[in-house]
């Protein structure tokens, strides 16, 4: 660290050209003779040049615009958490001339996605962070972005066909395994374990099916596959489905544990159990929604698996910024820790100010 930093000027001197030429080589903007190119590249080879990023941003008044395409955070708690992460990142990056534009679609109306995504295209951002929760609707846009050479970072939901710069999220298969494991660790004796898909059609959702695979895989590995039940309860307003759920929870004496694959679904299970004062069934769900937290604190839910949407979104913006700004490609897959939340460590997660 003793020798000073090498500047462009130094390289120019060493190579016997001007700073302008070095800069042109560094950014291969062309308009450089074969000979000058050679000289500059040679010296670059010999020394260890690290551009001064501070000077770079100041020199080029360049600003970058990142578009964010996510479900409307005012309509949903989970996405509001993502939004918080985006805003934190936006705050920190404003100094560097990186600006965020928001584009919200309606989580409860898949058809809203298209027009909003078009608006994103129209805005011509330098990069885009997307939570592509609607597979079918999102798919056509990735080609558009690619054609316009706009880098995409996906988070929360992966669409490998999109071939994004990077995906940030959790391994859902493993998350199903964790859910299974938590139930199993707490119930060593006999009994059955159920996975419930509530409020969504699991056959439409790779998301849920991945969790199911993981859930089954865990019990298979432990030679308990015959103790697993999976129920699809797409709409609990249908009386027969609701009755199925009640029967399972209240009248199946074998049932020792339940994992609910959807973050909102577990509150239905919880309220049924709570209302009937039924104990002894371990309950595992997803995400730190207000309702879920309430049931966790009440001792109805035992574990929640947290996806940390705030941090996912925060990292998404940062990855994009680093790519645009430092030309540093993020790892193509950033799989987040599968955070296990209990009554006793909940506070430590809620109060933590880290992103």
The residues of the shown chain that bind DNA, judged by CB under 7 A, are 5, 7-9, 16-21, 23-24, 26-27, 30-33, 35-37, 51-52, 55-56, 58-62
List the end-to-end C-alpha distance of the chain, in Å, as a whole number. 31
Token pair for residue 351?
């109060």
Residue (25 or 182) nearer to DNA, CB: 25
Q: Which residue has the tokens 């409020």?
A: 199
Among 16, 20, 140, 331, binds a second copy (CB under 8 A): 331
- Give the other-Cβ count within 10 Å of 290's Cβ: 8
Cβ of residue 48: shortest distance to DNA, in angstroms?
12
β-strands 339-341, 303-306 pairing: antiparallel
Residue (192 or 306) nearer to a second copy, CB: 306
Cβ of residue 343: shortest distance to a second copy, in angstroms?
7
Token pair for residue 282?
């371990």
Which range binds a second copy by CB under 8 A, 32-40, 117-125, 136-144, 177-185? 177-185
Q: How are strands ordered across the β-sheet holding 152-155? A: 98-105, 64-71, 127-130, 152-155, 166-169, 333-335
Which range binds a second copy by CB under 8 A, 53-61, 147-155, 240-248, 285-293? 53-61
Which range binds a second copy by CB under 8 A, 93-101, 157-165, 230-238, 241-249? 93-101
Q: Is 330 left (phi over 0), alpha (psi -120 to 50) or beta?
A: beta
Distance between CA atoms of 327 and 55, rounded to whole angstroms? Answer: 16
Cβ of residue 352: shortest distance to a second copy, in angstroms?
5
Q: Is 218 near a second copy (CB under 8 A)?
A: yes
Among 47, 58, 123, 139, binds a second copy (CB under 8 A): 58
Q: Which does 349 bind (CB under 5 to 8 A by kind): DNA, a second copy, none?
A: a second copy
Q: Is 49 near a second copy (CB under 8 A)?
A: no
For the CA atoms of 342, 344, 345, 348, what is the dihedral angle to 10 degrees? 140
Question: What angle, 0 to 180 degrees and rounded to 10, lies between the N-to-C axes of helices 135-147 and 112-123?
Answer: 10
Among 166, 212, 311, 320, binds a second copy (CB under 8 A): 311
Q: Which does 351 bind (CB under 5 to 8 A by kind): DNA, a second copy, none?
A: a second copy
Distance between CA atoms of 228 and 257, rounded to whole angstroms? Answer: 10
Cβ of residue 54: shortest distance to DNA, in angstroms?
7
Cβ of residue 346: shortest distance to DNA, in angstroms?
43
Cβ of residue 19: shortest distance to DNA, in angstroms?
5
Cβ of residue 153: shortest distance to DNA, in angstroms?
24
Residue (27 or 251) nearer to DNA, CB: 27
Cα dihedral 30, 35, 40, 44 sign: positive
* Burial group, residue 116, by CB count within 10 angstroms (0-12, 13-18, 19+): middle
Distances 30 to 2, 43, 60, 123, 327 between C-alpha atoms, Å = 35, 18, 18, 29, 19
Q: Is 18 near a second copy (CB under 8 A)?
A: no
Distance between CA atoms of 173 and 212, rounded to whole angstroms? Answer: 7
Among 27, 31, 95, 223, binds a second copy (CB under 8 A): 95
Distance between CA atoms of 312 and 310, rounded to whole angstroms? Answer: 5
Residue pair 127/323 in contact (Cβ under 8 Å)? The answer is yes
Q: Which does 348 bind (CB under 5 to 8 A by kind): a second copy, DNA, none?
A: a second copy
Cβ of residue 291: shortest distance to a second copy, in angstroms?
21
Residue numbers at the binding site for a second copy (CB under 8 A): 1, 52-55, 57-58, 95-96, 99, 170-171, 174, 177-178, 180-182, 185-186, 188, 218, 280, 282, 302, 311, 315, 331, 334-340, 342-345, 347-349, 351-354
């Amino acid at each position: 660290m003793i020798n000073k930093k090498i500047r462009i000027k130094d390289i120019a001197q060493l190579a016997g050209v001007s700073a302008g030429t070095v800069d042109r080589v560094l950014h291969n903007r062309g308009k450089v003779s074969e000979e000058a190119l050679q000289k500059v590249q040679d010296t670059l080879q010999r020394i260890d040049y690290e551009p001064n990023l501070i000077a770079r941003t100041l020199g080029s008044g360049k600003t970058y615009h990142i578009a964010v395409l996510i479900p409307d955070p005012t309509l949903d708690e989970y996405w509001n958490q993502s939004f918080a992460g985006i805003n934190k990142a936006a705050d920190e990056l404003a100094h560097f001339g990186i600006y965020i534009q928001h584009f919200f679609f309606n989580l409860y109306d898949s058809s809203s996605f298209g027009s909003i995504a078009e608006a994103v295209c129209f805005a011509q951002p330098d990069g885009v962070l997307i939570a592509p929760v609607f597979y079918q609707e999102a798919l056509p846009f990735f080609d558009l972005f690619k054609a316009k050479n706009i880098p995409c970072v996906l988070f929360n939901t992966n669409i490998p066909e999109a071939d994004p710069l990077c995906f940030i999220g959790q391994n859902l298969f493993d998350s199903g395994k964790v859910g299974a494991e938590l139930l199993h660790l707490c119930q060593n004796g006999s009994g059955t374990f159920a996975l419930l898909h509530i409020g969504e059609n699991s056959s439409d959702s790779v998301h849920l099916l991945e969790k199911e695979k993981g859930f089954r895989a865990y019990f298979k590995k432990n030679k308990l596959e015959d103790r697993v039940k999976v129920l699809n309860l797409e709409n609990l307003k249908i009386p027969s489905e609701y009755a199925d759920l009640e029967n399972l929870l209240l009248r199946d004496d074998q049932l020792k544990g339940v994992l609910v694959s959807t973050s909102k679904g577990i509150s239905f299970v919880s309220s049924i159990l709570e209302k009937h004062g039924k104990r002894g069934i371990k309950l595992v769900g997803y995400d730190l929604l207000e309702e879920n937290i309430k049931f966790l604190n009440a001792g109805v839910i035992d574990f929640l698996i947290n996806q940390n949407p705030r941090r996912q979104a925060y990292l998404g913006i940062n990855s994009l910024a680093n790519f645009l700004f430092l030309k540093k490609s993020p790892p193509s897959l950033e799989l987040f820790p599968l955070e296990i939340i209990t009554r006793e460590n909940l506070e430590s997660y809620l109060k933590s100010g880290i992103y």
